[in-house]
Amino acid sequence: MNLSNKKRKIITKLSSMGTFITLLTIKSNMCFAANSGIGTAEVKTATDNIKRVITSIAMPLGGVLIFASIVVAAIKMIANANNPQKRAESIGSLAWICGGGVILGASLIIAGIIINVATNNTGNLLGG
C-alpha cells in the first residue's frame, strides 16, 4: 500500500514537471520571437539607480549597523567587566562585527565592479 502511494506521487511529480517543461518551451518561442532590445537610456537609468541605492542606502545603513553593533558590544563588555567568561564572549562578538564589515565592504566593491564591467563605465551595455 505504501509503495503504491509513493509510485503515484512520483508519477504525479514527473507528469507535472513534463507539463511545466512543455509549457515553458512553448512560451519561450514567443519570448524569443519579440525583438524588444534594451536601449542605452534604460541601461543608463538602471545603472544610475543602482549606484544611487548603493551609495544612499547600503553604505550609510551598513555603517549605522556596524556602529550600533560596536556600541552594544562595548556596553556588554562594560556590564560584564567582573565576569571573565561573559566578557570574553562579548569580545568575541567584535570579530563577528569586523567580519560583517568586511562582507559589506566587499559586496559594495563587487557591485561597483559588476556595474562598471557590464556597462564599460559608459552607460552602454556591453555587446549591445
Residues 108-119 pLDDT 10s: 888 778 777 766
Provide Rg for the chain, Cα atoms. 26
Specify whether 46 is located in the same domain as 15.
Answer: no
Specify whether 25 is located in the same domain as 63.
Answer: no
pLDDT at 68: 92
* Cα distance between residue 65 and residue 101, in whole Å: 9
pLDDT at 1: 52
Specify whether 52 is located in the same domain as 29.
Answer: no
Specify whether 12 is located in the same domain as 50.
Answer: no
CB–CB of 46/119 below 8 Å?
Answer: no
Specify whether 16 is located in the same domain as 67.
Answer: no
- Whole-model pTM: value is 0.52
The number of folded domains in the chain is: 2
**Residue 30, domain extent:** 1-36
Specify whether 91 is located in the same domain as 127.
Answer: yes
Contacts of 51 (CB under 8 A, 6+ apart): 115
Specify whether 55 is located in the same domain as 113.
Answer: yes
Specify whether 46 is located in the same domain as 93.
Answer: yes
Residues 54-99 pLDDT 10s: 777 877 888 888 899 999 998 988 888 898 888 888 888 888 999 9
Specify whether 32 is located in the same domain as 43.
Answer: no
Distances from the Cα of 103 to the Cαs of 14, 39, 112, 126, in angstroms?
A: 41, 33, 14, 28
Q: How confident is the model at residue 33 (pLDDT cuts 50, 70, 90)?
A: very low
